[in-house]
Structure 1
């Protein structure tokens, strides 16, 4: 339930070929910068290199006060709104929203991802049509600075990396002011209640309540 195949439809990101090299999504975090540097020059005339190693699609909207740090790619019809801070190593897909006071660092955002208000997203991968509510963040370093471990019930998966925020599957909804602790993995079509403190693996089609309880989503 926590492999790339389980979490993502790779037809909705320019990182498809890159991600196909890996089994688990966190394995891709270390190479995001190099992937963007290799991918950028191949994008064609629809993208403009607006600064060194910063490529923006001609249909994207970048507001004047937004900062785009290299390397990054901003996809078609995406909005990067006032005060957004892209620190670098960010691949942002098509029809995305990077909103007011949002900070991105070492991330892949699939198409139609929304991080619209006051979000921090670092060392993370956000799947197709995933959404982070206002003020929700990914915490990407443990307080004891030890390597991140993914916990799935009684199972513990050693990642071997120090910086690892969250892996959000396709169509994940994270409620306002929720915190995704280091090593969080949320399955497709899962939801997180507002103000929750999330950790470990949340199965697909489930709801994580702010009490910590996980319930299966009822069929429509």
Structure 2
């Protein structure tokens, strides 16, 4: 995957998120992580109270959304129309949960944008990440957002690397990405639109759009149907 293919415009259809105008300010998706908390607060305060219920400090929940009593929400958080936040979900803050998204049992979110129809339904950790429209993380798959050596995250592309200046970056999933069960997306992983990740994978760097990731160094292009 080249740097050009890692741009917001290449990964995401911005008509499927309330963060559209915010994301348009940036070239690469990880650049949006630093100001995400302030953006969510600003957006939340602009939401129509006829549609969104304010449930605490900087917590806005759409009146059609379903949030289980056992779920924990710490602001700033916005839960969109028809979204579902299930049993024992742990929303640590700075989370924009899109329309029709599913946050499942024992799933943890921190500093994330979930586009509309995203599913993180079973035992997932998603931190410092942006998940595109209809992307899905299988049971037990997680984002790793800090390198083991605690150094700043570099984004590795075919045509060079990008210094991010950030210690914490998880994964950027394009629209319609499928992540298999039990997979680990290492810090700075960028997955192109329409790509499938095999179960139990350990993903590093960029993966081209419309691919099938089997293991490191073995990535097949999807055939046109």
TM range (shorter): over 0.9
**Residue of 137, 140, 152 corresponding to 1:135:** 140
2-side partners of 1:167 and 1:144: how far apart?
21
Partner of residue 19, structure 1? 23
2:189 matched to 1:184? Answer: yes
- Deviations 1:132-181, CA, capped at 9 Å, x for gaps: 00000000000000010111235211111110000000000000000000
**Residue of 45, 62, 70 corresponding to 2:67:** 62
Partner of residue 87, structure 2? 82
The 3-state SS of whatever aligns with 1:88 is coil
How many angstroms does 1:211 deviate by?
5.1
2-side partners of 1:89 and 1:156: how far apart?
27
2-side partners of 1:36 and 1:51: how far apart?
14
The 3-state SS of whatever aligns with 2:34 is helix
Does structure 1 retain, via aligned residues, the 8 Å contact 2:203–2:216?
no
Does structure 1 retain, via aligned residues, the 8 Å contact 2:65–2:80?
yes
- Deviations 1:103-148, CA, capped at 9 Å, x for gaps: 0000000000000000000000000000000000000000000010
Does structure 1 retain, via aligned residues, the 8 Å contact 2:30–2:169?
yes
**Unaligned stretches of 5+ residues in structure 2:** none
How many angstroms does 1:95 deviate by?
0.3
Divergent runs of 4+, >4 A: none
Does structure 2 retain, via aligned residues, the 8 Å contact 1:99–1:115?
yes
- Deviations 1:28-80, CA, capped at 9 Å, x for gaps: 00011000010001110200101110000000000010001110000010110
2-side partners of 1:212 and 1:52: how far apart?
46
Q: What is the 5 A alignment of 1:100-115?
A: 100-115=105-120
Q: What is the 5 A alignment of 1:1-220?
A: 1-44=5-48, 45-153=50-158, 155-210=160-215, 212-220=217-225
How many angstroms does 1:210 deviate by?
3.0
The 3-state SS of whatever aligns with 2:6 is coil
Provide the TM-score with structure 2 as the length reference: 0.96
**Unaligned stretches of 5+ residues in structure 1:** none
Does structure 2 retain, via aligned residues, the 8 Å contact 1:96–1:113?
yes
1-side partners of 2:218 and 2:132: how far apart?
23
